[in-house]
Amino acid sequence: MDDAKIVEVGMVLGVASSATQVEGGGVPHTWSDWFDRGRVRDGADPAVANEHFCRWRDDIDLMAEMGVGAYRLGIEWARLEPEKGRYDGAAAAWYLGLLGYMRERGIAPLVTLHHFTNPLWFEADGGFANYANIPVFLGFVEYAVRLFGDLAAEYVTVNEPNVFAVQGYHAGVFPPGLRSMRAALRVQSVMASCHVLAYDLIHRLRKEAGFTGTRVGFAHHARVFRPLSGGNLWHRFCARFVKYFFQGALARACLLGDFRFPLKRFASVKRGPKADFIGLNYYTRSSVSSFADGMAGGVPANDLGWEIFPPGIAECAGDLYALLPVPIYVTENGTCDNGDLFRCRYIHDHLKALSESRLPVQRYYHWSFTDNFEWCEGESARFGLVHVDFRTQKRTVKKSGRFYSAIIAAGGITARMFSEFVEPEVYRT
């Protein structure tokens, strides 16, 4: 009975990271500049990060030893194209070596082309706030896809355009540090246009090269929005309003090429499906009483104060699937748990919610593989299955990492695994 599965996991389990958060290497981009301006809370330097640029072979070996067969990795645009129109051959060779070694170790890549970080030369030209830069981004996409050839068949064009826009152009806590809702909506519009054009471009390039198996999508940050008080009409209105402005309009634009207010179409694109999979990044629920974010009292929360609400992962996946019924990839799901005290329960509860949803979830990428440079939080927020001692860069698989490996090996969660890993853990409120 102890070996009986209590949660069937009918999806491929992988791990995820982004280039800026793990590679290091002192690349001149917006987050190195943000560090230089003293905007990383604990003073951690992204030029160090996890030193993955030097330790990549050991990291891939560890991934393989843990049984991981799918890895969502990011490409550092500023590393490949340090100056506009000039591509770095050594950087290109490094990425080819990384992807080739992943193939040797039986790990399938899902390549993210943009994950929060711009080259400084692109930022100086207005970045994604300037619609004239759409062809510039597409030029990078074309170079990368041609470079990787048959080593990578699946791509995420852009990661969380809503978070990138809101944090950088409205809240001011990401580069470039602006506080303008108009600018944030413009950036979302431009990035959505970039996605739909990149979707068509990648398919065309790979078809012309004779490659098959192409899948392209974008990684959408979606959360559950609830009125703080269900009986309060204003709270209910605000919840619907914020959900639409934060994620609803963007999902429609990127999945269907259907740009509706408040987004604008900055390129000539035809309406129609613009994703081969739904890429869902899910972390939390917001309880809303105004046009700002909010959180209910007395609910489980992680070390960053985000509510832990496992049923929301299926709810958000279902909302997106209703827009476009294609396979679902959970491109990010994880939690900040610095002591690794409740991550096993978090993983169990979210996988259980997905398995019970009957949605066609084909992939689940845990965020993240290792502890890493967590943007403006620096090294103070740990999301990894693998602990990183940032002073020595030593990697140590956590209890949650052993649990994840056991799930992969068993194809689900057994009663014995639940008793050993999950049952002792409790969420904090």
- Torsion (CA) 307, 180, 39, 393 in degrees, nearest 10: 50
Q: Tens digits of per-residue pLDDT, 232-275?
A: 999 999 999 999 999 999 999 999 999 999 999 988 888 999 99
Distances (CA, A) of 216 to 95, 330, 333: 19, 14, 19
Rounded distance between C-alpha atoms, residue 207 and residue 214, angstroms: 9
Distance CA 336, CA 343 (A): 8
Q: Quick one: pLDDT at residue 174?
A: 98
- What's the rounded Cα separation, in Å, for the pair 133 and 129? 8
- Closest to 194 in 3D by CA, of 147, 293, 263, 148: 263
Query: What is the residue extent of each domain of the chain?
Result: 11-398
The conformational region for residue 152 under phi > 0 = left, psi -120 to 50 = alpha, else beta, is beta
Q: What is the pLDDT of residues 176-191, one digit of tens each?
A: 999 999 999 999 999 9
Give the pLDDT band of residue 1 (cuts 50, 70, 90). low
What's the CA gap between 18 and 32, in Å, rounded? Answer: 15
Euclidean distance between the first and the last CA atom of the chain, given in angstroms as a whole number: 33
- For residues 214 and 150, give the distance between their C-alpha atoms in angstroms, rounded to a whole number: 10
pLDDT-based confidence at 3, cuts 50/70/90? confident
The structural architecture, per CATH, of the domain 11-398 is Alpha-Beta Barrel (3.20)
**Mean pLDDT, residues 193-204 taken together:** 98
User: Tokens 């990425």 identify what position?
Assistant: 95
